């Protein structure tokens, strides 16, 4: 298998995983503190999805760090297909969660203009959580496509 | 380039494109007739996204049909990368539109139970439009991954 920048076990791959973990954790934290007073299914789904994403990226970052330290090769067909499957699931879930929450935030902020009426609905806070989830998705999409490229290049 | 089932210019590829066109058109029609009395940004976005998807799939279906009839090869690197780019854009837009509309429908149907209060909000009709958009997305995702596989296998 050819070594590609951003692939499993590389420094760029590790930076991507750390970035995913940080943005997913930040999105989850902002959403969890915001939903204390305002419960919506889409927001709960975003929190759950970002929690899953943060966990997945954290363990992969640990695996990449270990591979870099002990000079192990993570770009074997079995491992790459495992990363690929996990990235596909988390990427689709992250985008779905980000978009469903974005739909609700736009509804409240633009369509019914709820931000001005109810003080307890913090449009800015929800907006930040959704933006962070989109940042997470972009990073996981990059990881997925790099893994897919490596897998298809065999 | 290796010929893969469901790839550009194959019978399976043509069936996929026709399926995408039909489900996207159906989703757009249901949503457009439903939004006459109830305007929401997410629903407009879904209609626009499904319109784009239906147009893209229609022209590709015509190209595939022509290739099958005149025995032309559509699996050249330039053409496959063109299909790949278009499929990537439409797949992401379709999933984003489906999820944002699903978030709003779930909000109305489950969180605020608006279906029982306002007769003008047809939860069933919006639900059908969202379900059809997810069906469209699954088909475009299959087309995209087949094209990506062919492109990466060069």
Distance from CA of B103 to the nearest CA of A (A): 4
d(CA B136, CA B59): 16
Residue B72 in tokens: 């032309």
Q: What angle do CA A100, A133, A114 make, to 5 degrees?
A: 50
**Torsion over CA: B151, B152, B153, B154 (sign):** positive
- pLDDT confidence of A34, banded at 50, 70, 90? confident
- What is the pLDDT averaged over residues A144-152? 84
- Residue A107 has its nearest CB partner, among B97, B104, B152, at B104
Domain annotation covers residue B6: no
Whether residue A58 is contained in a domain is answered as yes
Mean pLDDT of chain A: 86
Task: Give domain status of residue B77, yes or no.
Answer: yes
- Among left, alpha and beta (phi > 0; psi -120 to 50; other), residue B71 is left
pLDDT at residue A152, rounded to an integer: 75
Kindly state whether residue B147 falls inside one of the protein's structural domains.
Answer: yes
Report the gap between the CA of B38 and the closest CA in chain A (Å): 11
CB-closest option in A92, A101, A110 to B41: A110
- Domain annotation covers residue A4: no
Q: 0.95 exceeded by the pTM? A: no
Q: What percent of chain A has pLDDT over 90?
A: 49
Chain B residues whose C-beta sits inside 8 Å of any chain A C-beta: 39-42, 92, 95-104, 106-107, 110-111, 148-149, 152-153
Note the pLDDT of residue B150.
Answer: 85
Q: Which domain range does residue A112 map to?
A: 11-67+74-152
Q: Along chain B (154 residues), what's the average pLDDT of each consecutive run of 10 residues?
A: 74 93 94 70 90 95 92 86 91 92 87 67 83 94 88 74
The pairs formed by A77-83 with CB atoms below 8 angstroms and a separation of 24 or more are A77/A1, A77/A151, A77/A154, A79/A8, A80/A1, A80/A7, A80/A8, A80/A147, A80/A150, A80/A151, A81/A151, A83/A8, A83/A143, A83/A147
In a domain, A22, yes or no: yes
pLDDT the model gives residue A72: 86
Quote the pLDDT of residue A1. 52
Asked whether residue A56 carries a pLDDT value surpassing 90, the answer given is: yes
Q: Is B106 inside any structural domain?
A: yes
What is the per-residue pLDDT across B74-115, written as a single tens digit (0 to 9) for each?
A: 888 888 889 989 998 999 999 999 999 999 888 888 877 777
Task: Check residue B123 and give its pLDDT.
Answer: 79
Distance CA A54, CA B152 (A): 29
Question: How many C-alpha atoms does B129 have within 13 Å on its Cβ side?
Answer: 29
Query: Is a pLDDT exceeding 70 seen at residue A116?
Result: no
Instruction: List chain B residues with CB under 8 Å of A102.
Output: 100, 103
**Chain B: residue nearest A112 by CA?**
B40
Asked if the model's pLDDT at residue A124 lies above 60, the reply is yes
Q: Which residue of A has its CA nearest to B150?
A: A152
What is the model's pLDDT at position A118? 59
Structurally, chain B folds into a number of domains equal to 1
Contacts of A93 in chain B (CB under 8 A): none
Q: What is the mean pLDDT of residues A131-137?
A: 95
Q: How far is A35 from chain B (nearest CA, A)?
A: 13
Report the phi/psi class of residue B50: left, alpha or beta, with left for phi > 0 and alpha for psi in -120 to 50. Answer: alpha
Does residue B61 fall inside a structural domain? yes
Could you please report the per-residue DSSP string of B53-79? HHHHHHHHHHHHHHHHHTT----SHHH
């Amino acid at each position: 298998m050819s070594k590609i920048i951003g692939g499993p076990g590389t420094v760029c791959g590790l930076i991507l995983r750390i970035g995913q973990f940080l943005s997913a954790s930040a999105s989850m934290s902002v959403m969890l503190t915001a939903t204390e007073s305002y419960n919506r299914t889409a927001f709960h789904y975003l929190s759950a999805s970002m929690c899953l994403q943060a966990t997945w990226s954290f363990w992969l970052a640990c695996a990449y760090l270990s591979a870099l330290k002990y000079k192990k090769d993570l770009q074997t067909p079995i491992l790459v297909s495992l990363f690929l499957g996990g990235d596909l699931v988390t990427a689709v879930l992250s985008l779905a969660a980000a978009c469903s929450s974005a739909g609700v935030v736009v509804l409240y902020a633009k369509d019914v203009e709820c931000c001005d009426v109810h003080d307890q609905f913090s449009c800015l806070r929800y907006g930040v959580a959704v933006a962070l989830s989109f940042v997470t998705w972009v990073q996981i999409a990059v990881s997925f496509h790099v893994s897919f490229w490596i897998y298809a290049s065999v």
